[in-house]
Structure 1
Amino acid sequence: MTTFSKRLKKARKARGISQERLGIDAGIEPASASARMNQYEKGIHQPGESIVKQIAAVLNLPTAYFYCEDDETAHLLQCFHLLKAKDRKDVVDLVENLAFRN
């Protein structure tokens, strides 16, 4: 399994939706939605960038989430994505202060 396929399956299951529903909501033809999502989750095929963006939108995740190799970074991206603009700025300021303090 690829990093993408593992993250996709985990995110879909966390949302409690079927492969077919996710595929359809992401704009995949209903007749092939389930099969294509199954192939993506098994790592048999890799979706193109536009499909990944559509899947991310349906799951309310940033596209980068699907490519993070470690769980901690993926979780941070997931949380950051859900924040409002002002809160994002506060988080970036905090991280910069922590990362670059003497």
Structure 2
Amino acid sequence: MPFTNPIPVRLKEARKKAKLSQKSLGESIGMDESSASPRMNQYEKGKHTPDVQTLKAIADKLGVPLNYFFCEDDSSAELACLIAQLTESERKKLIAALSRE
């Protein structure tokens, strides 16, 4: 089975959930007004992939953790978002609970 880049799907999902247009998202992270929409469209179509710094700015704007964009399935993406909302103490407790055999 061929690998499919998860970034375009996750980007479009998160942008739509945030109710932002491609143009407004691009502009809000510092892209030029004339190129914001086309660049975001290319990212969502998988024609180009944003560099990590750009992807981090997008993640921050959309309120998702950076690793969300790399999740290969929906449940992993949802877990990444939920874990990101936990405090460090809560994360350690979760790790301990999941590590028990």
Tell me the TM-score range normalised by the shorter chain.
Answer: 0.7 to 0.9
Name 2:80's counterpart in structure 1.
Answer: 77
Name 2:57's counterpart in structure 1.
Answer: 54
Q: Which runs of 5+ in 1 are unaligned?
A: none
- Cα RMSD (Å) of the superposition? 1.4
Q: TM-score, normalised by structure 1?
A: 0.87
Structure 1 runs of 4+ with >3 Å offset: none
The answer to whether the 8 A contact 1:53-1:63 is kept is: yes
Name 1:10's counterpart in structure 2.
Answer: 13
Q: TM-score, normalised by structure 2?
A: 0.88
Q: Residue 22 of structure 1: which of 21, 25, 39 is its match?
A: 25
Aligned residues: 98
Structure 1 range deviating more: 43-52 or 79-88:
79-88
The answer to whether the 8 A contact 1:27-1:54 is kept is: no
Partner Cα separation in structure 1 for residue 85 and residue 65 of structure 2:
9
Between Structure 1 and Structure 2, the one with more helix by share is 1
Name 2:68's counterpart in structure 1.
Answer: 65
Percent identity between matched residues is: 41
Q: Deviations over 1:55-97 (max 9, x none)?
A: 0111111111111111111111111011222222222221212
Deviation at 1:14, TM superposition (A): 0.8
Q: Which runs of 5+ in 2 are unaligned?
A: none
